[in-house]
Amino acid sequence: MTRFTVNNKPIEYKMDPDTPLLWALRDASNLTGTKYGCGTGECGACMVIVDGAARPACQMSIASLEGTFVTTIEGLAKDRGHPVQQALIAANVPQCGYCIPGVVMSAAVLLQGNRSPSEADIKGAIPNICRCGIYPRLVDAISHAAS
């Protein structure tokens, strides 16, 4: 049994301790905003915040998270009210939308530590892959969210 906190609620997963967090969130907690893309830690679709850092949920076993604080896109802000979400909506950044939860989590962590990121800061902090090619609008929107 593994115990940690998800979106400010203590949780115990009675699953194989090697289960990736991504599947515990999606299958046991019905937190389906965290997406599966590559399963290898490359695409960022599954990005969540663990103890203040953006981390790919497909690459962390639930056993490795004992005692941590995990935030998913569902717990980031009520009614899509996070400044990053508001900026992305205002700038019509999402296209298909699949990568957006992970992008938001990466950007939220960036802005926690840097309130005036440069374009290079943004590109360096958002490793997420988007097949729709939203990157130019995304950089503009995150810059706007930071200002």
25, 37, 122, 134: which one binds ligand FES (CB under 6 A): 37
Per the CB < 8 A criterion, the answer to whether 72 and 34 are in contact is: yes
Strand ranges (E), the chain = 2-6, 9-13, 47-50, 53-56, 69-71
Per the CB < 8 A criterion, the answer to whether 45 and 38 are in contact is: yes
The residue among 45 and 139 lying less far from ligand FES, judged by its C-beta, is 45
75 is a site residue for ligand FES (CB under 6 A): no
Least Å distance between CB 128 and ligand FES?
Answer: 8
96 is a site residue for ligand FES (CB under 6 A): no
**Other CB atoms within 10 Å distance of the CB of residue 127:** 16
Size of the site for ligand FES (CB under 6 A): 12
Structure tokens at 82: 């996070």
39 is a site residue for ligand FES (CB under 6 A): yes
Q: Which residues bind ligand FES (CB under 6 A)?
A: 36-39, 41-46, 56, 58
